Amino acid sequence: MCELLGMVASQPADVQFSFTGLALRGGQTGPHADGWGLALYEGKFARVFLEEHPAYSSPLAKFLRENPILAQLAVAHVRKMTRGTACIQNTHPFVRVVNGRHLVFAHNGTLPNVRKRPLRYESALGDTDSEHAFCVILEALRERFGPYYPEDPHQLGQVLFELGNELGQDGVFNFLFADGAHLFARCGDSLYSTVRKPPFGEVTLLDAEVSMNFGDHQGADSTLRMAAVATKPLTRNETWVRGEPGTLWLFKNGDLLDTWAPAPGYVEASPQITPAP
Amino acid sequence: MCELLGMVASQPADVQFSFTGLALRGGQTGPHADGWGLALYEGKFARVFLEEHPAYSSPLAKFLRENPILAQLAVAHVRKMTRGTACIQNTHPFVRVVNGRHLVFAHNGTLPNVRKRPLRYESALGDTDSEHAFCVILEALRERFGPYYPEDPHQLGQVLFELGNELGQDGVFNFLFADGAHLFARCGDSLYSTVRKPPFGEVTLLDAEVSMNFGDHQGADSTLRMAAVATKPLTRNETWVRGEPGTLWLFKNGDLLDTWAPAPGYVEASPQITPAP
């Protein structure tokens, strides 16, 4: 398995604090030692930093913590491989260009059968179920919207929600999907979110004895809002809302814009499938 | 204008030496101060590092010089903008996924009219003529080969050669195009190549008083071969072959595999166009 972190704010913000917590799980406090990745949006363009080595000891991850890049939208991932090998092409997040913007995707869980689904246009660089699932999503979007990316995120969310629950019936499918403005976050079996807004109190990372006041740290004015999503809560003394399996959240500018809830009794993963631990 | 550097070797090698010379031109010894980019292949996957700031003072470029990543194929670019603005989405090299591999493209010159060519499937993230030209190339490859990437680089080279000369009639089109195994290099008006092989002598950068023996530095055995291509020679005491306008070179594993030469009398840029200085 692996861990995900997504962040979307009302203005460019420093993701250093949250990434530090995630990076420590990349081999030091957690077992997620097979690679890490960080996508930082600047408008519709995502810079993506990837390594197939543990995040906590990575010179590049250290460099990024020490030379933070401000971003309004970010997706990070640390990986414990369950499918595929530890190599750069299997490292999340994955990125593609669609209609003049980068789309970024990261997955937690396993979808053991998704690679049986044929791809017509998209192709995977690596051999993970996760990247293949991203390609399946991209082809579904193309089928639904043609070469254009939908302006209305609620239209897009509906497709991601339905496809998420379809693929999630055959595995575990926690994912983050970002498009430069919006962060879509699907809970398969474990996803938490928190919204940070002024007044910022001191929050403490669960993985390190680090405390920080967001108000000070972000140099933020009173309008900053920041939504964070993670497979496990990253901090103490913040309220993390646990997602219900099958739920899709849509965040923008630090706010929760929309929620898609599954039918009552939805259960992730078919009984025939034993998800990886 | 801007400067290009491509490198392809018979085994993973350290591109630090050549990139140092190029990075110094990014604002210190040259006027190319509007951004830089470096793509390093690991198999069919390209890690791409981009910044819209000068390379010579960039902490990230410094980090990459100090923590070199071995690569068998690399494309680098420093940019002095002639079209578009200095922002991350206008920074070369550009990258797309085609049939399970990253394709990487960088351009030197200007193609003032290329953006009039419509795109059907591909789309640009930025507003440069260069990225649009890359999209035109990708669509031409799709038209010619369908969703498959041609196994035969000579087939691919023929398309790049013909399209290069077609687009080059309307501007200046020095470019590098890489696919994980091959480096295609087109000379519009200025492109030089050199092939390095044992015994390695000491070479000296033109832009800094740095000397280095490749044999020592690469930890290379006697089989290392390395081809380098650049818009201007980067070193003294190496032989750089000047390309003829309209020529396309194909390199693999440090060797020149093929050359496409234009018809006698080929002149880059139509008389109606005044290329940017």
Per residue in B96-140, pLDDT tens? 999 999 999 999 999 999 999 999 989 999 999 999 999 999 999
Q: Which chain B residue lies closest to A126 (C-alpha atoms)?
A: B100
Give the other-Cβ count within 10 Å of A268's Cβ.
25
ipTM of the complex: 0.87
Quote the pTM value. Answer: 0.90
Q: Which among B156, B151, B152, B106 is positioned nearest to B128, based on CA atoms?
A: B106
Residue B60, in any domain of the structure: yes
Supply the mean pLDDT for chain B.
84
Distance CA A48, CA A40 (A): 6
From the CA of A101, how many Å to the nearest CA of chain B?
6
Q: Give pLDDT, residue B271.
A: 47
Of A57, A66, A97, A138, which to mutate for an interface test with B (greatest number of B Cβ within 10 Å)?
Answer: A97
Residue A266 lies in a domain: no
Range A221-234 average pLDDT: 84
> What average pLDDT score do residues B157-172 get?
95
Among chain B, residues having any CB pair with chain A shorter than 8 Å are: 42-45, 47-48, 50, 59-60, 63, 67, 87-89, 96-102, 120-126, 147
Residue B273 lies in a domain: no
In a domain, A235, yes or no: yes
Query: Which residue is listed with tokens 């087939």?
Result: B155
Which residue in B44, B63, B67 is closest to A125 by CB distance? B44
Contact B125 A45 (CB under 8 A): yes
Q: What is the pLDDT of residues A242-267, one digit of tens each?
A: 999 999 999 999 999 999 999 888 88
What Å distances lie between residue B95 and A106, B130, B176, CA to CA? Answer: 19, 12, 12
Residue A276 in domain: no
Find, among B103, B83, B110, B79, the residue nearest to B5 by Cα: B79
Question: Omega before B68 cis (within 30°)?
Answer: no
Residue type, A205: L
Contact (CB<8Å) A89/B42: yes
Q: Chain A closest CA to B275's CA: distance in Å?
A: 27
Q: What residues of A are in contact with residue B96 (Cβ under 8 Å)?
A: 97
Q: DSSP letters of chain A?
A: -EEEEEEEEEEEEE-HHHHHHHHHHTTTSSS--S-EEEEEEETTEEEEEEESS-STT-HHHHHHHHS--EEEEEEEEEE--SSS-SSGGGPSPEEEEETTEEEEEEEES--TTGGGS--SS---SS--HHHHHHHHHHHHHHHHHTTSPPS-HHHHHHHHHHHHHHHHTTS--EEEEE-SSEEEEE-SS--EEEEE-SSP-EEEESSSS-EEEHHHHTT--TT--EEEEESS--EESS--EEPPTT-EEEEETTEEEEEE-PPTT--SS-TT-----
Q: Evaluate whether residue B38 is within a structural domain.
A: yes
Per the CB < 8 Å rule, is B124 touching A59? Answer: no
When CB atoms are compared, the residue of B42, B99, B122 closest to A88 is: B42
**Number of domains chain B is built from:** 1
Taking the C-alpha atoms of residue A201 and residue A219, their distance in angstroms, rounded to an integer, is 14
Token pair 């490859």 is found at B141
State the residue range of the domain holding B62: 2-260
Residue B181, in any domain of the structure: yes
B2 in catalytic set: yes
Tell me how far CA of residue A88 lies from CA of A55, A241, B71, B87, in angstroms: 13, 32, 13, 26
Partner-chain contact B60 A42, CB within 8 Å: no
What confidence tens digit (pLDDT) does each residue in A101-116 have? 999 999 999 999 999 9
Residue of A31 and B170 predicted with greater confidence: B170
Whether the per-residue pLDDT at B277 is higher than 50: the answer is: no
Q: Which of A48, A88, A121 is nearest residue B147 as measured by Cβ atoms? A: A121
Most confident listed range (A39-53, A95-109, A204-218) = A95-109
Q: CB–CB of B42 and A87 under 8 A?
A: yes
Would B274 be classed as within a structural domain? Answer: no
The CATH number of whichever domain residue B86 belongs to comes to 3.60.20.10
